Amino acid sequence: MDVHKLISVIVPVYNVEEYLEECLDSIQHQTYTDIEVILVNDGSTDNSKEICEKYCRQDNRFKLINQENQGLSEARNVGVRESIGEYIYFVDSDDMIKTDILQTLLSFMKDDVDIVGCNYSTKKEDLILQTSPNIVFQGNSSEAILSCLNYGGVTFFAWDKLYRRRVVEQVPFLKGLIYEDFYTGMVTLKYIHKMIVLDTIGYYYRIRSGSIMRQKYSEKNLDIFKICDSLLEAFKNDIIVSELSKYLFLVISQHVLFYKIYPSHLYYKIYQDYIAKYANIAKKSPEVLRSCRVLRWYLMSPKYFTRVTFPLYLRYNSVAKYVKSKIRGNV
């Protein structure tokens, strides 16, 4: 086994017996065969462990690690520590990957490239689309961070990218917190030389009722503030701190809308305080203030922002995108 060509596929597993075989089949049948698959069973109470054991018996590239439930972040960290490949790819155990995606991503992993990403879809049938991959983003660390902050081609998700091992080892996932991809995905970009993103769909992201973003609000959702503050700390001496603060301002505002955190909500004031905090940091940059219309609207009328101004802004953006798509379609 040549570890310099080996891809370590890390799969955290927790109570996903309904979807697990589909996920593992999609990994087992990859056209690129020089892989190891690290299955981290995070204290599953269903039949997930037995399914993992079956694949380990069938295919010696699969390795099972059993542990008490410690959460997704630590399961990923354990998988990384137990892996030996030069390259690392994360797959959530209820998702699937395209048959040739590892081979495709690796083919773009040149000497100065540390991450190669792809597109994802919430439609399983999109995995069978045959497309020639084109580069939609190519840039250094600063360019990748700015692309992520401005909703460009770069995402902060852990699972739509092939990584060089050294960058993954620089930034472990934060244990015990949800929204862990948000922090790790962003900070990892600080340690890269170059990143490439392809327009090919290589990952199927399954949306199911038990996922974090579809659950009812709980105190655990307050983790978003720990994540955001950790990001600010990580970039406190960076020139992009105002750009990052604008992004965090938008993230928390979207949280308020998604979870309907209105004045009667127990944590309403905390959310309003954090929105104000990030807005006040963001406005220190004249360029950020000039380029972000919704930030200027907030500063003019904070009281009505999350109930009136921000929903109208999102509605306006949605309509504008629809009109532009229709115009392009008629050209």
Domains of the chain as residue ranges with CATH: 7-204 (3.90.550.10), 218-330 (no CATH)
Share of the chain above pLDDT 90, in %: 85
Q: What percent of the chain has pLDDT over 70?
A: 93
**269 exposure class (CB count in 10 Å sphere: 0-12, 13-18, 19+):** exposed
Per-residue pLDDT band at 331 (split at 50, 70, 90): very low
Q: Is the pLDDT of residue 215 over 70?
A: no
Q: What is the pLDDT of residue 320?
A: 54
Does the pLDDT at position 112 exceed 90?
A: yes
Q: Helices in the chain by DSSP H: which ranges? A: 20-28, 48-58, 72-82, 101-107, 141-149, 165-170, 180-188, 223-234, 241-258, 268-282, 286-291, 293-300, 310-330
Burial state string for 120-158 with b = 16 or more CB within 10 A and e = fewer than 16: beeeeebbeeeeebeebbebebebbbbbbbeeebbbbbb
Span 83-99, pLDDT tens digits:
999 999 999 999 999 99
Return the amino acid letter for 173. Answer: F
pTM of the model: 0.91
Nearest to 106 by CA among 118, 94, 96: 118
In this model, does residue 325 exceed pLDDT 70?
A: no
Report the SS3 class of residue 11: strand
**DSSP of 132-169, one letter per residue?**
---EEEEE-HHHHHHHHHTTSS----STTEEEEHHHHH
Tens-digit pLDDT profile for residues 263-322: 999 999 999 999 999 999 999 999 999 999 999 999 999 999 998 999 988 887 776 565
Look at residue 330 and tell me whether its pLDDT is greater than 50: no
From the list 112, 211, 195, 208, the residue with the least C-alpha distance to 160 is: 195
Tens digits of residue pLDDT in 125-141: 999 988 789 999 999 99
**Which is it for the CA torsion 195, 196, 202, 207, positive or negative?**
positive
Q: Give the integer Cα–Cα distance in Å for 296 and 97.
A: 41
- In the predicted model, is pLDDT for residue 147 greater than 90? yes
Q: What is the pLDDT of residue 4?
A: 74
Alpha-carbon distance 168 to 115, whole Å?
10
What number is the average pLDDT over the span 188-192? 97
What is the average pLDDT score of the chain?
Answer: 92
Structure tokens at 229: 């503050």
pLDDT at 103 over 80: yes
Averaged over 50-77, what is the pLDDT? Answer: 97
Give the per-residue pLDDT at 2: 62
How far apart are the C-alpha atoms of 246 and 244, rounded to whole Å?
Answer: 5
